[in-house]
Amino acid sequence: QSALTQPRSVSGSPGQSVTITCAGTSSDIGAYNFVSWYQQLPGKAPKVVIYAVNERPSGVPDRFSGSKSGNTASLTISGLQAEDEATYHCCSYAGSYTHYVFGGGTEVTVL
Amino acid sequence: QVLMVESGGGVVQSGGSLRLSCAAAGLGFNTYGFHWLRQAPGKGLEWVTYIHYDGSFNVYADSVKGRFTISRDTSKNMLYLQMNSLKPEDTAVYYCAGENCANKFCRKTFVYWGQGVQVTVSS
């Protein structure tokens, strides 16, 4: 069982927006602004799409955005495209003992 | 272009050992901390261990503490993971990942990833 809780799957039509939530605790998401999101295509390595809650690495489309409220982080994909179909993992730094915790991953399907 | 390539995976019996290697190219090796993460079949990602950009310390997940050892060779731009006393629950794809620590500030983000290497521990 993963430390962070994500929905198993979400879906949307092309052009729509989808939001993936990631629920943690006051020891991880609530304590640090080190939430990151990783996109993983089938059989491939993960790729960071959001870091530090809401920062986007160069090369990542601006339709990807992140936010945090309390102990829950969210990833929103606006203007969904077929190439966004993947599994998305949330991650939070959790201090010098636990270090990093992950969610179980959310499969995004483009209808 | 940054490239990270893992090697050394395979099938090993329970109680056995393996040493994973990760060759890093195209980044300032001395300004990156490095991690190993793993993903069991059909499961989410799990952080395993980290070595600081200057090699001054390393940390481990409880699940591998005392059995796994991370190390780095700056002269070769290489990262290693020595895995001893392997258990069936260690079966996973193992990824090396780099964390930017430029200006001595580590971003707590897995910026660059290798393609992954399969480790299978049979009982």
Element of type H or E holding A97: helix A95-98
**Residue B85 above 90 pLDDT?**
yes
Task: For A60-79, write each residue's pLDDT tens digit.
Answer: 999 999 999 999 999 999 99
Q: Which of B62, B60, B54, B47 is nearest to B33 (CA)?
A: B54
Q: Which residue of B has its CA nearest to A90?
A: B45
Residue B121 predicted with pLDDT over 90: yes
Q: How far away is chain A from the Cα of B118, in angstroms, using its nearest Cα? A: 12
* Chain A residues 32-51 with CB within 8 Å of chain B: 32, 34, 36, 38, 44-48, 51
Provide the token pair at A77: 């994909």
Chain B hits for A9, CB-CB cut-off 8 Å, are none
**Arithmetic mean of pLDDT, B66-81:** 97
| Strand duo B117-122 + B10-13: pairing | parallel
pLDDT attached to residue A97: 80
Of all residues in chain B, the one with the smallest CA distance to A36 is B109
Q: Is the pLDDT of residue A96 over 90?
A: no
Q: What is the pLDDT at residue A2?
A: 82
Q: Which of B109, B111, B112, B117 to mutate to test the interface with A (most CBs of A within 10 A)?
A: B109
Residue to substitute from A100, A101, A107, interface B, most B β-carbons within 10 A: A100
Beta bridge partners of A91: A36, A102
| B107: chain A residues, CB-CB within 8 Å | 51-52
**pLDDT for B69:** 98
Calculate ∠ Cα B63-B2-A85, nearest 5°: 70
- Residues B19-32 have a mean pLDDT of 96
Which residues contact residue B58 at a Cβ distance below 8 angstroms, ignoring those fewer than 6 apart?
B49, B50, B51, B52, B70, B71
Beta strands in B1-123 (DSSP E): 3-7, 10-13, 18-25, 32-39, 45-51, 58-60, 68-73, 78-83, 92-100, 112-113, 117-122
Give the pLDDT mean for A85-110.
95
Are the Cβ atoms of A34 and B109 closer than 8 angstroms? yes
Q: What pLDDT, on a 0 to 100 scale, did the predictor assign at position A98?
A: 80
User: Which residues of chain A neighbour B47 with C-beta distances below 8 Å?
Assistant: 91, 99-102
pLDDT at position A63: 97
Which run of H or of E encompasses A18?
Answer: strand A18-23
Return the pLDDT at A76: 98
* Facing residue for A45 by CB, picked from B46, B59, B115: B115
CA distance A28 to A14: 33
Taking the CA of residue A90 and the nearest CA in chain B, the distance in Å comes to 9
Q: Is residue B3 pLDDT above 90, yes or no?
A: yes
